């Protein structure tokens, strides 16, 4: 059936045209793999590919199928859980069922060559559907090389991450990123390899598929963790063999006795019952019915994915660790043994976090920037004024019994940010007066450097202390007036998402049950603290940098740096680097954490780049002022003379307050017994088929 070269070329063109006008066949990557792939002997499960062995790879492959509405997928994972097979399946299914050009990005060109020899060529020669379409590189007239493969409808290129910029004119439908944490962060003046490769897919809109998988490295500098955070952060849930509560397996729940790995049992986060690996996995990993959705799997008591965040539109993300590997792959006693051996050895611990837990590792203790160094970086711009680059204005409020502490901060492109106001409102927070003042402050218009007026886009209010009901009432009241002021609570787990999904909470206010309750968000305080701590080290204006105005007093900086990271051990002898409160006050630090959560809230469900672009149109694209020119740099001596005292609130006679006399309030609503709409609950990953 060998065609002449000429017909083959004509055929290729005809196929390409036909493909362009025809909708994609409804092929699912996992089903294509089951029908076509035989795994080579050096993989954990050689032989015909079976989804049932690794049910967590099904959702990932479906989301990245040619006809799926998801455009991007990011899989943050440890080693040896079969993850690379799903990426190969995607490449095979893309090439043979809905062809378009494909780019595979590796850390280096040597990695690309190695992958071609050890993974791609065995897949090609062992899969009839691919053999038919891609001729071997060494065949005469095939016009294929090790790094460029032609097939009907497109061409696959394998590149090193430092060479992505060389593909200037290439238009690509599919991109696969391998181990993005090993890429260079920036190509000289060209941006990072991920952004460059993604830009090539712009013409394909939703039909493009961008997929990356990898193991994270260092906290705050991990590319895969950054991409994971952009998505809906799906976590693999197993149901407890005793109480059927679904949960994602976390290392701190694994228990053992007398340093004996053989005693390893997992404690259910709901009922506390200890069960061995076999008990957890026997039921959860029973074979799924054909075409089973994640929701159906959950209903049937099987392991399943649950999205834990909203994420940018079209961006799916998954995280899994070695505890969830199929039985026999990564036995729990072996993991405990590795853990025990790694104690006291920073490098071994990092390897354990990265390769087994699929988590970035937080850098050593004692690397924090001090309060004085931060204050010396303060810049000359007035309080309650947003410098030119600030585009989204947010606030974080820490609730104490006798005062509220507030930080107002403006964020711009790359999440560069400027402190706008910090201060306290004193008074008994169980009384309405204090909350009335907070309401006035958060409603106050704020001047932008270009002369326009901004309003606070979102505010996160801490509901964790003794004033939970007051915070709920304040936020519910604000909702009636269309304000995005929301109640937050610090999440307990170290690896909680920075901003959790909305949760409806019932509460009573002055003896009356509030219809619909209030929307509460859990905040991953440890993750946000690690992020901000990393950003405080930045001294060059640009993405991530924290700027402070001269008007922030020494107290603010002391509070910002009041916590230290400590290795905390639990009863089983395991340790984590937690941010821990000392005896000093730390409200400013908490406020900054809540303000960052408010930023995530304000831009949630939107592409960050589009948010910045939209706001830049509103505020005019202003030339960035160099705030760090020698004239503006302030040493402590000058600062002592020029710093303005921080007022309790901005002077109200100078700012045109909105007249809120007739605005709806919670009290009035309760009197009228009107039932406001119920906040949306978080839930399962919706099957899209
Ligand atoms: Zn249980």
Instruction: Give CA–CA dist 478/488, Å, rounded.
Output: 14
Q: What is the pLDDT of residues 492-539, one digit of tens each?
A: 777 788 999 999 999 999 888 998 899 999 999 988 998 898 888 888
**Residue 632 or residue 28, greater confidence:** 28
Of the listed ranges 263-272, 425-434, 561-570, 580-589, the least confidently predicted one is: 561-570
Q: What percentage of the chain exceeds 90 in pLDDT? A: 58
Measure Cα distances from 308 to 239, 248, 284, 688 in Å.
16, 11, 20, 17
Ligand 1 center from residue 396 Cα (angstroms): 36
Q: What is the pLDDT of residues 278-307, one digit of tens each?
A: 999 999 999 998 888 999 999 999 999 999
Ligand 1 center from residue 275 Cα (angstroms): 9
Ligand 1 center from residue 279 Cα (angstroms): 12
Ligand 1 center from residue 274 Cα (angstroms): 8
Ligand 1 center from residue 254 Cα (angstroms): 13
Instruction: Please name each of the domains of the chain with its CATH number.
Output: 21-340 (3.40.50.300), 371-670 (3.30.420.240)
Q: What is the pLDDT of residues 448-463, one digit of tens each?
A: 888 888 999 999 999 9
Q: What is the pLDDT of residues 538-555, one digit of tens each?
A: 888 888 899 999 999 999
**Residue 125 or residue 191, greater confidence:** 125
Ligand 1 center from residue 323 Cα (angstroms): 17
Ligand 1 center from residue 269 Cα (angstroms): 7
Mean pLDDT is highest, among 168-182, 393-407, 670-684, for 393-407
Ligand 1 center from residue 679 Cα (angstroms): 28
Residues 111-133: what's their mean pLDDT? 93
- Give me the sheet containing 274-275, strands edge to edge: 254-257, 260-267, 274-275
Q: Quick one: pLDDT at residue 668?
A: 72
* 599-600-603 Cα angle (round to 5): 85
Buried residues in 80-102 as b, exposed as e (16+ CB within 10 A): ebbbbbbbbbbbbbbbbbbbbbb
Q: Quick one: pLDDT at residue 3?
A: 42
Residues 271-275: what's their mean pLDDT? 96
Q: Quick one: pLDDT at residue 648?
A: 36
Q: Quick one: pLDDT at residue 5?
A: 46
- Residue 248: strand, helix, or coil: strand
Ligand 1 center from residue 267 Cα (angstroms): 8
Q: Quick one: pLDDT at residue 190?
A: 59
Structure tokens at 48: 């015909």
Measure Cα distances from 619 to 387, 459, 487 in Å.
11, 21, 29
pLDDT at 471 over 50: yes
Residue 434 exposed, middle or buried by CB count within 10 Å (0-12, 13-18, 19+):
buried
In order, the DSSP letters of 462-514 are E--SS-HHHHHHHHHHHHHTT--EEEEEE-SSTT--SB---EEE--EETTEEP
Ligand 1 center from residue 237 Cα (angstroms): 13
Instruction: Give CA–CA dist 148/157, Å, rounded.
Output: 5
Nearest to 73 by CA among 212, 224, 229, 195: 212
Strands (E), 553-630: 564-569, 575-580
How far is CA 386 from its chain centroid?
A: 27
pLDDT at 24 over 90: no
- Residue 446: strand, helix, or coil: strand
Nearest to 528 by CA among 460, 464, 590: 590
Which stretch of DSSP H or E encloses residue 319?
A: strand 315-320
Q: Quick one: pLDDT at residue 369?
A: 81
Ligand 1 center from residue 242 Cα (angstroms): 5
Q: What is the pLDDT of residues 26-55, one digit of tens each?
A: 789 999 999 999 988 877 778 999 998 899
Q: Quick one: pLDDT at residue 627?
A: 37
- Residue 263: strand, helix, or coil: strand
Q: Quick one: pLDDT at residue 580?
A: 81
Q: What is the pLDDT of residues 189-198, one digit of tens each?
A: 556 789 889 9
């Amino acid at each position: 059936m060998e065609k002449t070269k000429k017909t083959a070329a004509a055929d290729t063109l005809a196929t390409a045209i036909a493909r362009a006008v025809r909708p994609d066949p409804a092929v699912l990557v996992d089903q294509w793999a089951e029908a076509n792939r035989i795994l080579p002997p050096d993989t954990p499960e050689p032989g015909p590919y079976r989804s049932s062995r690794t049910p967590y790879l099904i959702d990932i492959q479906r989301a990245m199928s040619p006809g799926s509405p998801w455009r991007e997928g990011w899989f943050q994972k440890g080693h040896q859980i079969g993850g690379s097979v799903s990426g190969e399946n995607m490449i095979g299914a893309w090439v043979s069922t809905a062809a378009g050009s494909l780019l595979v990005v590796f850390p280096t060109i040597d990695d690309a060559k190695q992958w071609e020899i050890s993974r791609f060529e065995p897949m090609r020669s062992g899969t009839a559907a691919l053999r038919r379409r891609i001729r071997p590189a060494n065949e005469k007239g095939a016009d294929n090389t090790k790094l460029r493969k032609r097939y009907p409808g497109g061409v696959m290129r394998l590149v090193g991450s430092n060479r992505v910029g060389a593909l200037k004119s290439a238009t690509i439908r599919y991109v696969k990123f391998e181990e993005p944490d090993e890429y260079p962060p920036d190509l000289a003046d060209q941006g990072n390899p991920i952004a460059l490769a993604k830009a090539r897919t712009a013409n394909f809109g939703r039909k493009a598929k961008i997929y990356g998988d990898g193991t994270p490295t260092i906290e705050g500098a991990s590319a895969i963790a950054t991409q994971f955070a952009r998505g809906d952060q799906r976590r693999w849930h197993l149901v407890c063999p005793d109480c059927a509560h679904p949960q994602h397996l976390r290392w701190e729940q694994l228990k053992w006795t007398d340093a004996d790995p053989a005693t390893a049992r997992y404690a259910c986060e709901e009922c506390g019952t200890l069960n061995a690996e076999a008990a957890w996995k026997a039921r959860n990993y029973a074979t799924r019915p054909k075409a089973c959705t994640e929701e159906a799997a959950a209903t049937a008591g099987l392991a399943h994915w649950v999205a834990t965040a909203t994420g940018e539109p079209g961006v799916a993300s998954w995280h899994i660790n070695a505890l969830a590997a199929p039985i026999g792959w990564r036995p729990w006693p072996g993991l405990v043994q590795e853990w025990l051996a790694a104690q006291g050895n920073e490098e071994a611990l990092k390897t354990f976090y990265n390769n087994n837990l699929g988590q970035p590792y937080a850098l050593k203790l004692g690397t924090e920037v001090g309060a004085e160094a931060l204050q010396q970086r303060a810049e000359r711009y007035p309080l309650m004024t947003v410098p030119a680059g600030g585009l989204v204005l947010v606030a974080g409020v820490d609730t104490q019994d006798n005062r509220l502490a507030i930080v107002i901060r403006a964020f711009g492109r790359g999440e560069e940010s400027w402190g706008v106001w910090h201060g306290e409102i004193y008074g008994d927070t169980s009384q309405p007066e204090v909350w009335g003042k907070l309401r006035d402050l958060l409603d106050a218009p704020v001047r932008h450097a270009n002369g326009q007026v901004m309003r606070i886009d979102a505010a996160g209010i801490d509901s964790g202390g003794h004033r939970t009901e007051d915070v709920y009432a304040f936020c519910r009241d604000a909702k009636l007036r269309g304000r995005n002021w929301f109640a937050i609570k610090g999440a307990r787990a170290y690896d909680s998402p920075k901003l959790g999904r909305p949760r409806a909470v019932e509460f009573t206010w002055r003896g009356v049950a509030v219809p619909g309750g209030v929307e509460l968000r859990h905040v991953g305080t440890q993750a946000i603290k690690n992020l901000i701590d990393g950003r405080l080290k930045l001294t060059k204006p640009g993405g991530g940098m924290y700027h402070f105005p001269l008007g922030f007093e020494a107290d603010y900086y002391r509070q910002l740096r009041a916590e230290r990271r400590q290795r905390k051990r639990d009863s089983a002898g395991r340790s984590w680097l937690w941010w821990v409160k000392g005896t000093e006050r730390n409200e400013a630090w908490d406020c900054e954490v809540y303000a960052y959560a408010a930023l995530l809230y304000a831009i949630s469900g939107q592409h960050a780049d589009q948010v910045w672009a939209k706001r830049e149109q509103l505020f005019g694209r202003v030339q960035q002022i160099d705030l760090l020119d020698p004239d503006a740099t302030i040493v402590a001596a000058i600062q002592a003379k020029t710093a303005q005292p921080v007022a309790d609130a901005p002077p109200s006679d100078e700012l045109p307050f909105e007249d809120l006399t007739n605005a709806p309030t919670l009290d009035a609503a309760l009197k009228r017994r009107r039932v406001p709409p119920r906040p949306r609950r978080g839930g399962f990953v919706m099957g899209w088929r």
